[in-house]
Amino acid sequence: MASISSSPRTVEEIFKDYSGRRGGIVRALTHDVDEFYGICDPEKDNLCLYGHPNQNWEVSLPAEEVPPELPEPALGINFARDGMNKKDWLSLVAVHSDCWLLSVAFYLGARLNRNERKRLFSMVNDLPTVFEVVTERKPVKDMTPGADNSTKSKSDKKRSSDGQVKSVQKVAIEEKFEDEEEEEEDEHGDTQCGSCGGNYNGDEFWIGCDICERWYHGKCVKITPAKAETIKQYKCPYCVMKQGRP
C-alpha cells in the first residue's frame, strides 16, 4: 500500500516523495506497461495504482483502514480496461494518477506556510505531468527524477490544445492558493503580535500561545519554524513568567 514510514516535513522532502511516487507510476504506464496491463484484469476486485517513494509501483486493493493513512488513488481502474482503446485507458489512468500525486503532496504539505506551498507547487509544476509523458506530449527523459528543469522558461509551459490538461490543473491549484490566502488573511487580519504589536502578515512566521491564545511573531519570541515543530505545547514569555510567580 501507499504507506509512509516517516512523514516528510520540508518542501524538499515532500518533493522527493512526490518525485519517487511519480517515477514509479510513469514506469508502470510506460516501461512496464505490458505487466501493468496484465495485472489490471477486469475480473478482479476494485484495483488501484500506487506509486511508492522508492520509485516502485504496485497495483493493489485499497487500504482497509478508514480513513486511510494517505489519500487514495482512483478505485477500480481495471474495470474499464477492456472497454476502451488501450492508449485511451492508459491516458485516463495517467490523469487520475496526476490528481492522486498532487493530493498526496499537498496532504503531506498541509502544515507548510503559504510561501512553502507556493514553492512546492512551483517545483511540481516544473515537471511534466504523468498524462503528458504517457501521451508523449513530453519525452519520458524529462521525467527522470533529479533532472534539471530549472532552466525552462515560462514560455515553454504555454501550450494550446496539447497542454489543456496541465493548464487546467495549474489554474485549479493556483485558485486554491488564492482562496487559502484570502481565508488566512480574513482569519488573522486583525491579529496583532503580543510582543511588538505589529499586525499579522502571512509572509512571516507566527506562533500562537496554547495558554493565553495570543499570537506572536516567531522572531519576537525567538522561535523558528523548525523549533516550533518540536514544541508540543507552546507557552509565551508572559505565561511562563506568570506561571513562575508565587
Q: Residue 84 to residues 40, 43, 87, 199: CA-CA distances in angstroms?
A: 13, 15, 8, 57
pTM above 0.85, yes or no: no
Task: Give the containing element (helix H, strand E) for 242.
Answer: helix 237-244
Q: What is the pLDDT of residue 187?
A: 53
Q: What is the pLDDT of residue 231?
A: 85
Least confident of 22-36, 97-111, 167-181, 229-243: 167-181
Q: What is the pLDDT of residue 196?
A: 86
Extended strands (E) in the chain = 48-51, 57-60, 206-208, 215-217
> Which numeric CATH code is attached to 190-244?
3.30.40.10
Q: What is the pLDDT of residue 183?
A: 60
Distance CA 32, CA 34 (A): 6
Sequence-separated (6 or more) residues with CB below 8 Å from residue 91 = 131, 134, 135
What are the residue boundaries of the structural domains of the chain, listed by start? 11-144+164-185, 190-244
Q: What is the pLDDT of residue 204?
A: 82
List pLDDT tens digits, range 72-87: 999 999 999 999 999 9
Higher pLDDT, 13 or 5: 13
